[in-house]
C-alpha cells in the first residue's frame, strides 16, 4: 500500500497539464419527437409532435400540418390538430381505448411515414397507502408507497390547504405532487437511488391518487428516461442518450396505451 502511494505521488509530481480546445460538432437530425398516450377514459387523447431541442433550456418547435391517425385493428381514428396548440393532435372526444387490445399510431409528414404499435395492459388495484408519524408538535406524517404488484405509475396529489393553520400558506407549502414508478426489472440505480425530497403533511390531508398500467415495451422506455433524468446523480450513473422508442425510423419518443384508475384517501 505504501509503495503504491509513493508511486502515485511521483507520477503526479512530474506530470503536466496542457490546455486543449476541442471543437465539438454535432449533426442536427431531421427527427420528429412524438409524445402520445391513449387510455381507457372517454375523452380527447393527445399526440404531440415537435422537433428535438439541441440547446439547454431551448424551446421545442411544433410540427404542424401532419396527418395523424390511430388504427385499432378495425377502425381508423383520425386526429385533428388543436387550433390553439400547434403540434398537438386530438382524437374525437368520445374515443376510449380498450383493455387487452393493440393500437397502431400512424403519422404522415411530407415524405416521412412513422408508425408505432402499443398494447393496453390492465391495471391492478391500488396498494395500501401507509403513513407514519415523523413529528408530534405539530403532528406531521410521511407516506410509505409500496411497489405495485405489476409495472405501473402512481401519481399522488396531496392537498392540506383546507386544514386549520395551513389554509393561509401558499400552494407550494400546502400541496405536494409525488410520482412513484414500479418497473419489473431492478438495476443498481434502483438499489442506490439519488436523494429525494421528503414530503411531510398534517392530519386531514386529502390524497388524490391515480394509477396507470405500464406495458412491457413502455417499461423499457421509462427506464431509459429515468436513467437520464430521475436517477441522475445516483451512486451508479449512465451516459446520456435517447431512450428506447417503439416508433419507426425518423422519430423518437413513445406512443403508449394505459388503463387508468383513480381514488381519494383522507389522512386521519
- Reported as a single tens digit per residue, the pLDDT across 53-89 is 877 777 889 999 999 999 999 999 999 999 999 999 9
pLDDT at 146: 85
pLDDT at 228: 62
d(CA 99, CA 64): 31
pLDDT at 4: 41
Cα dist from 111 to 31, 131, 172, whole Å: 13, 55, 47
For domain 32-119, give the fold.
Immunoglobulin-like (2.60.40)
Whether residue 3 is predicted with pLDDT greater than 50 in this model: the reply is no
Closest-CA residue to 173 (of 144, 143, 140, 149)? 140
pLDDT at 220: 83
d(CA 266, CA 203): 8
Closest-CA residue to 112 (of 51, 27, 36, 54)? 51
The percent of residues above 90 in pLDDT, for the chain, comes to: 60
Cα dist from 237 to 183, 194, 240, 243, 244, whole Å: 18, 10, 9, 15, 17
d(CA 176, CA 178): 7
**What sign has the CA pseudo-torsion 42, 127, 145, 231?**
negative
Place 10 in a pLDDT band, splitting at 50, 70 and 90: very low
Query: What b/e string do you get for 58-88 counting C-beta neighbours within 10 Å, with b at 16 or more?
Result: eeeebbeebebbbeeeeeeeebebeeeeebb
Place 216 in a pLDDT band, splitting at 50, 70 and 90: confident
What is the rounded end-to-end Cα distance, in angstroms, of the chain? 59
pLDDT at 20: 59
pLDDT at 192: 44
**Single pTM value for the model:** 0.78
Closest-CA residue to 65 (of 44, 79, 46)? 79
Average per-residue pLDDT for the chain: 83
pLDDT digits (tens, 9 = 90+) for 229-252: 554 444 344 444 566 789 999 999
pLDDT at 201: 96
Q: Where in the chain is the domain with CATH 2.60.40?
A: 32-119
pLDDT at 8: 40
Amino acid at each position: 500500500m505504501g509503495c503504491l502511494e509513493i508511486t502515485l505521488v511521483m507520477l503526479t509530481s512530474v506530470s503536466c497539464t496542457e490546455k486543449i480546445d476541442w471543437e465539438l460538432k454535432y449533426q442536427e437530425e431531421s427527427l420528429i419527437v412524438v409524445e402520445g398516450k391513449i387510455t381507457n377514459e372517454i375523452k380527447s387523447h393527445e399526440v404531440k409532435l415537435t422537433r428535438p431541442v439541441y440547446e439547454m433550456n431551448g424551446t421545442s418547435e411544433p410540427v404542424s400540418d401532419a396527418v395523424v391517425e390511430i388504427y385499432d385493428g378495425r377502425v381508423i381514428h383520425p386526429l385533428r390538430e388543436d387550433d390553439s396548440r400547434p403540434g398537438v393532435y386530438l382524437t374525437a372526444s368520445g374515443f376510449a381505448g380498450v383493455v387487452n387490445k393493440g393500437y397502431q399510431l400512424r403519422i404522415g409528414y411530407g415524405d416521412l411515414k412513422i408508425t408505432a404499435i402499443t398494447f393496453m395492459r390492465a391495471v391492478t388495484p391500488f396498494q395500501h397507502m401507509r403513513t407514519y408519524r415523523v413529528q408530534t408538535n405539530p403532528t406531521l406524517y410521511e407516506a410509505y408507497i409500496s411497489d405495485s404488484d405489476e409495472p405501473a405509475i402512481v401519481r399522488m396529489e396531496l392537498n392540506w390547504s383546507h386544514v386549520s393553520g395551513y389554509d393561509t400558506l401558499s400552494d407550494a407549502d400546502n400541496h405536494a405532487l409525488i410520482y412513484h414508478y414500479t418497473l419489473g426489472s431492478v438495476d443498481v440505480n434502483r438499489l442506490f437511488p439519488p436523494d429525494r425530497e421528503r414530503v411531510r403533511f398534517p392530519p386531514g390531508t386529502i390524497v388524490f391518487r391515480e394509477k396507470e398500467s405500464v406495458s412491457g415495451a413502455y417499461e423499457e422506455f421509462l427506464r431509459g428516461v429515468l436513467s437520464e433524468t430521475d436517477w441522475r446523480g445516483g451512486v451508479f450513473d449512465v451516459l446520456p442518450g435517447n431512450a428506447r422508442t417503439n416508433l419507426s425510423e425518423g422519430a423518437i419518443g413513445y406512443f403508449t396505451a394505459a388503463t387508468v384508475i383513480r381514488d381519494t384517501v383522507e389522512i386521519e
